[in-house]
Structure formats: C-alpha cells, structure tokens
Structure 1
Amino acid sequence: MTAEHVETDVVIVGGGIIGLSAAFRLAEAGRKVVLVERGELANEASRGNAGAFAFSDILPLASPGILFKAPKWLLDPLGPLAIPPREALYLLPWLLRFFRASLPDRVEASAAAQGALNTLAARECDSLVASAGLGAFVRADGSLQLYESDGEFRASLEGWAWRERYGIAFEHLDQRGLAELQPGLSPQFIRATFVPGWKTVTDPRDYALAVARAAETLGVEVRRGEVTAIIGGGDLQQVRLTGGATLSARHVVLAAGPWSRGLAASLGADVPLIAERGYNTTLLAGAFDLKRQLIFGGHGFVVTPLAQGVRVGGASELARFSAPVNFRRSQHMLAKAARFMPGLRTEGGVEWMGSRPSMPDSLPVIGRSPRARNVILAFGHGHLGLTQSAATARLVTDLVLERQPPIDLSPFRPDRF
C-alpha cells in the first residue's frame, strides 16, 4: 500500500490559537493551507486559559523584583511559582537563563519588545475579529489589578510608567472607585488599577474553534496526526506523520506550543522552551456577580467571567509533561478567591491543568528556522498566547509572503540564546 502524499502551499503544525489564527490569515491571503493537530483542536492551553487579551501585560516575568520574590515562592509548593523538587535539576539550565533575563538591561529590552508586539496585537486582534466575524465572543469590560496595601500599590507604579510609554490607558482607583467597578470584594483591597483596553472572551476554546471554523470556510484543511519529522531545505519542505503520510509544502509553520522543542531542535533551533503548568477551577454560572476580570497579582491568579461561569486560575508550576498533576494548587487558589470575594459560591467547580510554552525572557519565538528559511517558528508565548495570537498570525503571514514585518523581529529570533 502506497503511503499518502499531499502537496500544499503551507503546512501548519499545531492546532492551538496561534496555529489557527495563522491558518486563517494565510488562507485569507490566498494560500492553500493544511493544519495538522495531533489531538483535538484548541484542547491544550487554548482550552482552559484565563481568556484575556492582556495587551497591557508587557513586563516580563523575569524582572529585578523576581529575584527577591522567587526564593520565597519556590519554597512554597502552593505559591505563585513552584518547582517540584524532583524537577529542579532538569530545570536548572532554564532557571539560570531566567535569572540572567532578570538583569535590568535585559528586562528593558524584553519589555520594549513585548510592548511592540502587544501594540501590534491590539490592532491585529480587532482586525481578525472583524474579518472572521468573532465579535460575539469578545468582551471589552477592562480589568482590575488589586492591591492590599499602599506599599504594594507603590511597587506597581514603575510598571505602569512602562505601560504609559506605549500609550496604554489606565486609571488608579481608591477603595471607593474600586467598589463602584466591582462590588462585593473584601475590604482588605484598598487600591486598584483599571485598564479599560483589556478584553476577555466568552470562552477561550469557543473563540479558538470559531477561528477554526472561519479558517475552514476559507479552505483550510485540518488533519489529525502526529508529526514525526520536518525536513526543511530546498523548494519544498517535508512534514512526515505517523502512519507514513507525507505533506510537502513551500512553507511550514511550527506552532505546537510546548511540544515544539524537539522538532525545532531538528531544524537547528535548540531553544530553552519548557512547559509551564497553569491550574484553574471553573465555577458554575452565577457563582459571583463578576463585572470584569480581576487580577490578584500578589497571589499569582486571576478571576474571569466566562459564558459558562467564573474561572479562578493562574499560578506557574515548572515541570515536565510526565510530572504528577497537583490539583492542590487550584484548590489553594479557589480558597483564596473565596476569602477575597465573600459570597463566592465554590460548589460544583471543574478543575483543569494545562501546559503553557514558556521561554526564560517571556518573549515568544517568531522567525525563520536557522537551517531552513521556509520553516517558520511561532511558539513560546507563555501566558500571552491568546493575547498575541493575531499579531503572530500577521507576522507569520508576512514572513510567508516575503513582506516586511511591521515590527523588528530580532528580539524573537530562534537563536537569541
């Protein structure tokens, strides 16, 4: 029996929000696109994330302040950043790069790059939502960053000054102003910052699947299969699947999230990409009269209003895919949320864990493979996959079409480490 062979313009590896958005834009530009996903579409981080277009989130996790917070967090197995002891040796090279990325000059460069990418993301998100007819999935209610003390608020001001440089609108509120925008919070929160340009989706997976439907309407073919190899070079790139099928394409886009590392390495990009786990609990509709997304920055989690209920989630756990799942983390966040939001009904919640693709400097990898210029890498967005999906789709499309990208891509190059 002869193995199947298919030729197309572009093969996209990965059916999360990054790959789906790129598929839509490339098909819109007239390219014949085949998207390959090993499982169900939008079934990993694109399924259970916090559902935010966090355009104002331009500061990297690696920052001078993290040097003081991280030791305390790492000693707390339920804290905002955790490393299971058995994972420490495996993660050491990544952690060394992470602490290097927290030096002041590197933080400034990372924030500038993230600011440029998120500014593009805000524009491209509006454009993609309009083009794909996704307006019903997007809410423009803003967000509230909450503070428990004047000291915590003052410590945040430098970050808000950074955001102001990029034209990000925000308003600092006292306790009365906070109560007007979100009644029912514990009085321990005495200040807040409101970001009107922050948006959320009714459900992140519903949004991603709507992008998929729009892409398929434009002719994108979705195939289920495990990619075993990408053979770059020459006029046609080869994508091999389990079972023997081969896809040939002028361009390949690798957008498989934390599963991208092995394939990227085979293409000459040995990137320090790890899986950063996030946990959440989605409560029933009516669990709390939530007006907009709440950000409990000092505790590493957010609370988001979704169509099906209230999602309490966040935190970071650095671990391999094979590490045991620790739902005590989601339970710990939920218990805190119940204290911070008196009246929150916590019964009937559904727990979830997913892996984000995380880079030490918080910047994604967007660029051409070192060994095959027609293989484009697009992964490593960390907490900002949904936020930066439309911008990444625009940049990938520009690379495929040989157009000049609207921002400098050198901070995101695959070989920067």
Structure 2
Amino acid sequence: MSSESTNPKSRHVAVIGAGIVGVSTAIWLLRDGHRVTLIDKKGPAEGTSHGNGGVLASCSIIPVTVPGLLKKAPRMLFDPNQPLFLKWSYVPKLAPWLIRYLSHATSDAVRHRASALAPIIGDSLADHQALSAGTGAEKWLVPSDYVFVYRDRDHYNGDAFGWSVRREHGFEWDELEGKAWQEYEPSFGPDLGFGARFGNHGRITDPGRYVKDLAAHAEALGAKLRIGEVTDIARENGAVSGVRVGGETLACDEVVLATGVWSRPLAEKLGVDVPLESERGYHLELWEPSVMPRAAVMIASGKFVATPMDGRLRLAGIVEFGGLDAAPSRAPFRLLEKNIRDAIPGISWKHTVEWMGHRPSIADSIPLIGEAPSLKGAWFGFGHDHVGLTGGPKTGRLLSQLISGRQPNIDLAPYSPARFRRA
C-alpha cells in the first residue's frame, strides 16, 4: 500500500537504476511519502548488485590508489599472479582517466577519501537492517565478522598506513595469530597465519535475491517498475519535468540517476563531466564446497574476498581495466581458483559459476551524491567503486532526505556533483 497520502509535499520521483542504490533510494522515498517510478533497462539486480562480493565492508574506507601504487603497478601488470589486469587495446581511451586516477595515490588523497566514505559505509550493517526490516529481504542479511587474512605479522605490518587511517576513524579490530588464529579459523593452510578481525560487519547470502526482494517490497509499497532505457531528461523552466524512456516522455517532478558505471551519458546531459571508468570485477562461485570459512575474509595477498553464501562460497575481486564492451578475460577466473586452492589446500566443490561485471570507478574514488549543479530536481547517486552494496542504503536515505527538503546530519560537500561541473 502506498504511503503517499501521509506527505502533503509528495513528489513523483523517477529513480533510474534498480541496483542497490536505486532500490534503496526508492524504498526510503516511499517511506517518506513520495511516489516512485523505478526504471531499469534490464530489471532489478541484473548488474553489479547481483555479482558483488556480498560483504558489508564498513572498514573498507581505503581506496585502491594507495601511496606506492604507481611504482608497483607496472610489475603487477606483467605478473599473472597479481590481481591487476589491463586490456592493452583499451589503453588509448583509458589513459586520460588513468592519469587522473593515479594522481590520487597519495597519503593526503587517501585520508580525504576515507573521511568521505566513513559516513556512508561506516555503519553499513545497521543501515541494511533499517532498510530491510519488514521487507522480506532481511533473511539474506547476516551479521558477521569480516577478517583480513595475512601470511604473518610482517605481511600485516606492510599495510600499516591503511590500518592507521582506519584507526583514525574509530575502527577497532582484533589481531589473531598462532593458536588464537587456528582456533578461530582452521580452514586456511599454514601459509596464512594472521587475521585482523572486525566485528559488527555483515554479509548478504544472496546479493541478487536480496536486491530483487527489496525491489518487490518497493512495488508492494506502490512503486511502479518500468523496464527500459532512459535516454534524456526533460526540463521546463530550469527544473526536471520528465524522463525520456522507450520513445515517450514520462512526467515526473524529480529524477535520481543511479545507474553505476552507465551513468556518464546522462550525467553529461545534466552538465557534469564525471571521470568515470569501469573497474571490471570478477567472481567465481564454488557450489557445495568441502570447506566453508566461518566469516567473510579478504585474502590480502590476492586482494580477493571469499564470502560464505547460500549453498556456495563466492570469490570476488580482481581489478581489470578494459571498458564496458570487451568480453570477460579467462586469466582472472584462473587466478581466483589458484588463490583459493593456495589459501585452503584440498578444497573441493561440485561446480563453479563465473561472472564478470562493472564497478563504477570515479577518478577520486568518491561517489557523487547530491543535486545536479545546473538542473533543479535532478539528483546523482553513483560511483561507489568497491563499496556499492555497503553504501547503498545510506546513499538512498540521504537522497530521500534531500528530496524531502531535510538536511542530512553529515557534510555532503565531498560528494558534490558540482566538483565535476562542465566548464
């Protein structure tokens, strides 16, 4: 049943994109008494929201672009055992973005990004609990630890800068080694003997089903689901008046752009030249594995996550730059399988499922959340790179607050779309 009658200032909002950010935005808008049309070219959770690592990674405030990356990257690209891949034919198109991206591999930029991300993802478990309560999707949400797994303490100390930044933002963790580590997590082989364990995190045991169930709840609240591609934003007197979809114009009062890596063309029409690229991510699902870790883990040496899910263990990670159109590469899948066999010697499973998707990576690693600088009623919510699932509910709630005329209790300046306003 729609709640629009409870809000005398009800707006009709077209939410473009039915991944976790768009669906979260739709639910919070409906709870605030607005009317919602949810538009997606394929349907809910058919993209990155289906294939992500499934971890509510509140502590993941450190970007890929850490100090020293520029020196390490060339070696990583030519080592098949490193989690960084590049489609060389794409380099000419990628180069301007990549130069801008790598310019943020400084300690100051990392701290700036961490300060921006902490308010969005730092309480993700509670954000997901608030979003999913009473929706039917809450059954996929599991409070759990999140553990970074290292070879030993020296290996862990090699990431001291990132750990110090997390500590600056109030994160706490347990350091487990020796007998304490073996008692906590006996799954791993002798080459992995140290764990940094975070409590108060969570995991989603079927991310695709979770977002689909949330979308179904939005429909039950009165949202209209429209399958189609939005090609333009209609405007009148400097404000949104509708969206162009499927050859017709759908009238609306506000629009939210939440299409992840596919957001750039519409953002450009709204006066924002966002430096956005696809960071191609891979996952490998091991169905009915013989060994299942007790919590979601990040294997530091391979930079991949292993997450216990419903009936399978999902391995997710890898960074590949190669654009939106190229077919998946085989090497990342081979590396994920090699890495899990190295981490858990003797593991076996019934069958595998492969997936490749597109993370929306902005050059400064900070999402766009807020109103378009040149059109009233047009809002952005995209660009969360590795933490879209983690930050989706909070982003949706912030956008609903803004559309409802309420001032959120965090500083929104770091996420301002105006930082990329076209000259």
Fold conserved between structures, TM > 0.5: yes
1:79-128, Cα deviation, whole Å (9 max, x unpaired): 31222111111111111111211122222211111122223544422321
Alignment of 1:2-13 (within 5 A): 9-13=12-16
Deviation of residue 20 (structure 1)? 0.5
Question: Relative to 1, partners in 2 of residues 1:303 and 1:254: Cα closer, same or farther, differing over 3 Å?
Answer: same
Question: Relative to 1, partners in 2 of residues 1:319 and 1:237: Cα closer, same or farther, differing over 3 Å?
Answer: farther
For residues 69 and 207 of structure 2, the distance between their equivalents in structure 1, rounded to whole angstroms, comes to 29
Question: Relative to 1, partners in 2 of residues 1:306 and 1:402: Cα closer, same or farther, differing over 3 Å?
Answer: same
1:183-240, Cα deviation, whole Å (9 max, x unpaired): 1211011211011122101110111112112211111110111111113453542200
Alignment of 1:67-146 (within 5 A): 67-76=70-79, 79-119=82-122, 121-130=124-133, 132-146=135-149
Counterpart of 1:311 (choices 310, 314, 336) is 314
Alignment of 1:9-408 (within 5 A): 9-76=12-79, 79-119=82-122, 121-130=124-133, 132-234=135-237, 235-242=239-246, 244-408=247-411
User: For the Cα contact (< 8 Å) 2:282–2:355, is it kept in 1?
Assistant: yes
Letter in 2 for 1:218: L
Letter in 2 for 1:192: G
For residues 132 and 166 of structure 1, the distance between their equivalents in structure 2, rounded to whole angstroms, comes to 32
Deviates more, 1:377-386 or 1:113-122: 113-122
For residues 62 and 323 of structure 1, the distance between their equivalents in structure 2, rounded to whole angstroms, comes to 24
For residues 66 and 236 of structure 1, the distance between their equivalents in structure 2, rounded to whole angstroms, comes to 42
User: For the Cα contact (< 8 Å) 1:240–1:247, is it kept in 2?
Assistant: yes
Letter in 1 for 2:273: D
Deviation of residue 135 (structure 1)? 3.0
For residues 200 and 49 of structure 1, the distance between their equivalents in structure 2, rounded to whole angstroms, comes to 11
SS across alignment from 1:331: helix
Question: Relative to 1, partners in 2 of residues 1:295 and 1:154: Cα closer, same or farther, differing over 3 Å?
Answer: same
- Corresponding residue for 1:4? none
For residues 285 and 233 of structure 1, the distance between their equivalents in structure 2, rounded to whole angstroms, comes to 56
Deviation of residue 179 (structure 1)? 1.6
% identical equivalent positions:
33
Deviates more, 1:326-335 or 1:375-384: 326-335
Tell me the TM-score normalized by structure 1.
0.94
Question: Relative to 1, partners in 2 of residues 1:233 and 1:345: Cα closer, same or farther, differing over 3 Å?
Answer: farther
User: For the Cα contact (< 8 Å) 1:287–1:310, is it kept in 2?
Assistant: no
For residues 140 and 203 of structure 2, the distance between their equivalents in structure 1, rounded to whole angstroms, comes to 9
Which ranges of 4 or more aligned residues in structure 1 deviate by more than 4 Å?
A: none
CA RMSD of aligned residues (A): 1.8
For residues 180 and 205 of structure 1, the distance between their equivalents in structure 2, rounded to whole angstroms, comes to 33
1:151-173, Cα deviation, whole Å (9 max, x unpaired): 32112233223222323231111
Structure 2 unaligned segments of length 5 or more: list them. 1-9
Question: Relative to 1, partners in 2 of residues 1:233 and 1:268: Cα closer, same or farther, differing over 3 Å?
Answer: farther
SS across alignment from 1:415: helix
SS across alignment from 1:142: strand
For residues 11 and 161 of structure 2, the distance between their equivalents in structure 1, rounded to whole angstroms, comes to 49
Deviation of residue 8 (structure 1)? 6.7
